[in-house]
Structure 1
């Protein structure tokens, strides 16, 4: 699991998952107890959220976001790593 990801590591991760956007800035956010949450920004005013956590916590958060996926207030889950340690 990434601890303090660099833009290069995030862009490599995006390429690995066939996301063709380039991240130019990473900002750590608060709001999780054990895991880490980062805002990933592009130059085109488009942001992503990367959540890193224990597999059980990722599973719970993913279930919640999938349950309310039609809500305009919540982000769309683009991908979840097979080992369930992060999602974007």
Structure 2
């Protein structure tokens, strides 16, 4: 999954950017922060705010654990860095 997974996450974030200012939707930004962060429970609880059914929550937990096992800290930091550059870009 490594770099390809990080790029998929980034692509999803880019698709959901807001209209005029190129800022990333706050909910999507929080989702990515939690998804790339260390806590499975925090991510699952975030997902639960939007979709509270067992199937979705089990999938969210499984996806988070898989990501934690496959993506290195270096790849996660690369995604964070790229998101920061997108938000800082004045030419959007």
Q: Normalising by the residue count of structure 1, what TM-score does the alignment of the two structures yield?
A: 0.27
Which of the two has greater strand per residue? 1
Which of the two has greater helix per residue? 2
Q: If you compute each CA radius of gyration, which structure gives the higher value, 1 or 2?
A: 2
Q: Normalising by the residue count of structure 2, what TM-score does the alignment of the two structures yield?
A: 0.27
